[in-house]
Structure 1
């Protein structure tokens, strides 16, 4: 028996301890978990045969219907749960979601975490709808759950840090949006975002009102082009000679340079990115005073894969299309 706690706290406490029933007496804020003495007493409780739970709310001597209280990360934080970690929340009746809760910063639901490249984020539509990854590591919560969470007023907070050896300033940044909502599947999970505040560029404003797109479900505004395919990821950029590309093995494995300028992503990361079906697009331009015709060219390969370190990052490339010489096919295998 616990006294002086709220109804949501009673519900969570009893379910956390795997009791099959509980009641809550509103008049004296008393919580009773799984006790037949009380749950079989109609003066104190009513039962719901559909859920198998027994609960009651009593004001003085009059039995009333209980008030449904759904659990969110913020409500858990307000109940005194202060430790970061994985919790099960219930933002909607019949919907239980396992999420990572950031309690140290005030009770935020983590909808995405990317930290070490261990998870592939170039995924199909169904995976982005249902979620993927591991809540204790890299993961995406799932559009259908983010839609449920943002049906009430919600904010979005984005925290970013550079990798250990990146020469980027500042080393960390944040962006916060006072309005954040994702519509349901009938609207292709259209994004609503506004009220930017942060110490970095507002990169989400341009996506306000835009529907979600994956490589197999194109809902963007670019006509025949698919943004998910076009902006899959730049693995190398050479533009002004500011970075030396004559490097040793370890540097080519780990990557080097500055992602805002000239850089090489790193073989170990390209291997991870190409474990699922991938394409390679190469775009080339002459320098300003270069007397070369044409001034720009492109090459595209419908199949692109880099094996792991045990195979010394062997290249697989085929399906050439472009307006320049096919210089990669000779390196296939």
Structure 2
């Protein structure tokens, strides 16, 4: 029998949690049909929530396996979940995201079609209310052998946490994540990139879930998207991404060195990270400051764009054109270009705003 555990990690997301659990249980029902050799289990780990999360989890009774622990961050949830699962495969679902009913079935069939360490799939970007925006992530498809490029420092295109399923034995060969205050977040970074060095990756073109983009209460003041519209994730602003990525890479290098006996390059190459640095430097900057940065401090950004092994020439040309729009002495054009470069949610918001005005 092919089996998979959906591990739902939650911290104070009671407003989304029920929908996430119900979406996982829909997969249990879908794969419990007569004649099916696939089994889906649901493990919910609550990381010390102080809202109504416990009541919601307990309302599902024996349909889920609940674990309640003190708050230690997302990495502790991944470490504990991986230690507890007894199935061959695992999928870590963020409690603000959802799975579509046949997600686990398609994932298990993909695992059965080859000797894969990970199966990833696309996610619909959905609004806080659960409405599909028309955007999917990721935008690029990686090769099956991502290890060769990772060994040169290139981070490969991957969906957010909820769009990845792992062979448990492969992930255990890289984990656990070292625990410290700075490792509380972004556990999926270590899983997504560490797993690539243990085996091939299967990238499905199917969209099998929803990635919910929602803004914190403090970011909802006013009508403008502002710099919040440049955020690359729900839990991090653009400045935090710039600070955190280098130590994440260094931690990954340590994990790979001690667990697999390999040495990764001292520096990583990733357009997502470099575009984040671009947005931080140029958003609200004067025309002179934008020209100066693009002329003298953007070498790594353009290297990650032009050398990107996952993009077509047309996509590179489009990104290059948007970047050069930042040289135009217009704040409105600058904001448009940076938001469009930055993330799918911002692109959708801009299209909706333009449509409403039109």
Larger strand percent: 1
Indicate whether the TM-score tops 0.5: no
Larger helix percent: 2
Q: Which has the larger radius of gyration?
A: 1
User: Which TM-score applies when normalising by structure 2?
Assistant: 0.28
**Higher RCO (CA 8 Å, separation ≥ 6 residues):** 2
